Every structure is written in C-alpha cells, then in structure tokens.
Structure 1
Amino acid sequence: MGREVVERAESDMESWGAPGAVAAEEELPLLSLNHVSYSCRSVKESMRFYQDVLGFVLIKRPSSFSFEGAWLFNHGIGIHLIESDNLPPKKDAINPKDCHISFQCSNMDVLMQRLGEMNIEYVTAVVKDGGITVDQVFFHDPDGHMIEICNCQNIPILPLSSSCPVRLPKTIEFASPLSHLGNESLENHSAREATAQMMENLFKNMMTIFI
C-alpha cells in the first residue's frame, strides 16, 4: 500500500509538470501558516482554555470587526476565536481521525501530567515507522475542536518528489523594529537568522541525497 501511494504521488507530480501546468519557478510567494480560526460558544471560556492549557497569549484584534471574537498567538501560530450560537453539538468521544490542529512537543510526559492536573480528558496513540516512534495525545477544546500534541519532529520531512520545493519554517518577523532592544539582542537575532539559513541549506542538501 505504501509503495502504491508513492507511485501515485510521483505520477501526480509528473502530470502537474505537464505543459500548461504552473512552472516551479512560478511558485506562490507563501510564507507560512498564519492562524487557525474557530467558532466557539463563549469567547471568554475558549480564551481561558487556550491561555491556561496551551500557553497562548491574547493579542490586539482589529477594532473594525463588528462581531464578538478574540485573537491569541504563541508557538508560531495564531488562534482566532469567533463567537457563534450555531455550533453543532459537542462530540463526547475523542476520535484521533477527526479534523484537528497539531502542536509539536519536546516532552510528552510533562504535557500529559499537565492535562491530568487540569482534569482534561485525552487519549493517546503511537505511530511507528522505520524505527522511529511518535507519541500522540488527543483532546478537545471547550467546543469539541480536536487538538493533537505530538513529538512529530521525530519524523524527517522527506518529499516524495523533487519537483515541488519544500520550505522550512523561518524566524517570524514582527512589525516592531528590534533596534530599541540593544546591540546584544540584535546580534542574537542575526545569529538565529544565520542558523535558520544554515539548517535550510543543510535540509536541501539532504533532499538531493535522498531523492
């Protein structure tokens, strides 16, 4: 089954590269995933959940919106909450196959201990591939939206085709300048940028070897 998926993916790549398809050099100028938007019954309750359980920080939301909501940010991604009275009934069973957002975690034991202390129900799963093991934890937010926490960084990102370029996440650039933070902070920022570029170049070289 795995080989069939790979062959089908390679066939799709070839068809996309046929005459009339968008050339690789015309790739979309996308940067990264910006945010995930959720409808919720209570903005205050959902805000408290994402702040207390997942460590998100409430940030400024544009004042032009005419509906109740909130913006939160952390871990390189935003969560946008929109209050609604028309949500489907909350699911009781936790099904890992449901649609979900996933966060990488460096210490799953600490994560599960925290969920237990907060009396948050969760289920676990394990994925194994080629000697690599990934631990997964699934649970719901107050409105039944599925959340996964995993150490998925254990699995290397290996594209099935070299025809589509892969971009690694880069350091997020905030709108505010860094000059007021002093020379030391600027040097640290430059070092992080250099490290990120070095890792991206290393990743590209690895892809050339694997593919």
Structure 2
Amino acid sequence: MGREVVERAESDMESWGAPGAVAAEEEFPLLSLNHVSYSCRSVKESMRFYQDVLGFVLIKRPSSFSFEGAWLFNHGIGIHLIESDNLPPKKDAINPKDCHISFQCSNMDVLMQRLGEMNIEYVTAVVKDGGITVDQVFFHDPDGHMIEICNCQNIPILPLSSSCPVRLPKTIEFASPLSHLGNESLENHSAREATAQMMENLFKNMMTIFI
C-alpha cells in the first residue's frame, strides 16, 4: 500500500512539470521550521523536562502574552509551552505511530543511557532500507506528547522528482551578526559558510544526475 502511494505521488509530480514547481517555490518563501507549540499542565514541569532531558535553553518570551507560558530553543528549533487546564488524559502506552516531533542524534547509545539514568520509559524501533539502518527511540514528555530521537541522517534526502528542488537548512542569522561567533573568527565563519554552500550545490547536482 505504501509503495502504491509513492508511485501515485511520483506520477502526479511528473504531470505538474517544472514551471509549477518554480512558481510554488516563489509563492512560498519559507525558510525553516521555527518552533513547535505544546499545551501543558505545568509550564514549570515541562520546562524542566525539555531543559534537563533534551538540552533546551529558556529564552525571552514576548511580554504582550496574557497567558502562562515559556519559550525554549536549541538544536535549531524552538519549543513553545502554553499552560492549560483543559488537556486530554495522558497516554500510557508509547505508540511510535502517534504524532510526534523527531530529533536527529549522533550517538543513540549515549541517549538511551541518559534516558535510563533519568528513569524515562521509552521504546525502540529499527528502520531498514537498501542496506541503511536507522535506529529510533520514542518516549513521552510530562503531558504525553510523543518525542522521537533517531539517526535519520543515515538516510539520504532524495526528492521523488527533479522538478521539486529541496532547500537544505540555512545557518541561523541573529540580530547581531558577529556577536554569536564567540571565539570563532570572521574568516573561519565565512569559510564554514562557503563550505556549507558548496555542499548544497553538490547535493543539487547529484539530484540532477540520479533522478
């Protein structure tokens, strides 16, 4: 069934043609995923979870909000918490098919050891495709929101059609362009940016060859 859906999608994209893809890209000037917003019973408890378990950092939240909440950020994405008394009962069973947010991880063994030390229940799964293996770990936050940690970077991003280009993540630019560099020199930062751009161009060229 899954393969049939993919084949239909490939056929549909071929019928769209390149002009439509270009128009869509111009019409939607999206940059990246900014944040995920979660309702929670206790902002304080959820803040502690995302800070201690996932390494998020509390950041300034606009003062105009009239409801209890908190903003956290790390790993290129924000987590916005909104306190609510009207939440459904917390799910007990961990089901990998439930809606979830997923983070890539460079060392799954260290992750699982950390979860075990913090007495956080989790389930594991393995995805295999063409000799590539992806390890997955699923667990809940204090309100039952599903979180996945995986090494999905093992799977190359291969668009089903060359007429639908993929935008790779860009380096985040802050309000003060040089203040976030820390001890890194401007020359090293520029070299790193140039390398990233070169890799993106290489990726696009590979897509043209293989698709």
TM-score (norm 2): 0.93
- Superposed counterparts of 1:1-211, under 5 Å: 1=1, 3-17=3-17, 23-24=23-24, 26-178=26-178, 184-211=184-211
Distance of aligned partners of 1:75 and 1:125 in 2 relative to their CA distance in 1, 3 Å threshold? same
How far is 1:70 from its partner?
0.3
How far is 1:67 from its partner?
0.4
- For 1:91-130, what per-residue CA distance to the aligned partner results, in whole angstroms no more than 9, with x for missing partners? 0000000000000000000000000000000000000000
- On the 8 A contact 2:21/2:163 being kept in 1, the answer is no
Distance of aligned partners of 1:20 and 1:167 in 2 relative to their CA distance in 1, 3 Å threshold? closer
Distance of aligned partners of 1:19 and 1:57 in 2 relative to their CA distance in 1, 3 Å threshold? closer
SS at match of 2:55: coil
SS at match of 1:19: helix
User: Using the alignment, how far apart are the partners of 1:37 and 1:168 within structure 2?
Assistant: 23
Of 45-54 and 167-176, more deviation after overlay is shown by 167-176
How far is 1:7 from its partner?
2.3
Distance of aligned partners of 1:162 and 1:42 in 2 relative to their CA distance in 1, 3 Å threshold? same
RMSD, aligned α-carbons: 2.2
Distance of aligned partners of 1:19 and 1:179 in 2 relative to their CA distance in 1, 3 Å threshold? closer
How far is 1:77 from its partner?
0.3
How far is 1:196 from its partner?
1.1
- For 1:34-78, what per-residue CA distance to the aligned partner results, in whole angstroms no more than 9, with x for missing partners? 000000000000000000000000000000000000000000000
Of 95-104 and 184-193, more deviation after overlay is shown by 184-193
User: Using the alignment, how far apart are the partners of 1:183 and 1:119 within structure 2?
Assistant: 37
SS at match of 1:139: strand
- On the 8 A contact 2:134/2:154 being kept in 1, the answer is yes
Instruction: Provide the aligned length of Structure 1 versus Structure 2.
Output: 211
- On the 8 A contact 2:35/2:77 being kept in 1, the answer is yes
TM-score (norm 1): 0.93
Distance of aligned partners of 1:9 and 1:101 in 2 relative to their CA distance in 1, 3 Å threshold? same
Distance of aligned partners of 1:25 and 1:36 in 2 relative to their CA distance in 1, 3 Å threshold? closer
Distance of aligned partners of 1:18 and 1:174 in 2 relative to their CA distance in 1, 3 Å threshold? closer
How far is 1:5 from its partner?
3.1
How far is 1:185 from its partner?
2.5
- On the 8 A contact 2:174/2:180 being kept in 1, the answer is no
How far is 1:28 from its partner?
1.4
How far is 1:177 from its partner?
2.8
User: Using the alignment, how far apart are the partners of 2:149 and 2:5 within structure 1?
Assistant: 26
User: Using the alignment, how far apart are the partners of 2:172 and 2:142 within structure 1?
Assistant: 29
User: Using the alignment, how far apart are the partners of 1:180 and 1:14 within structure 2?
Assistant: 43
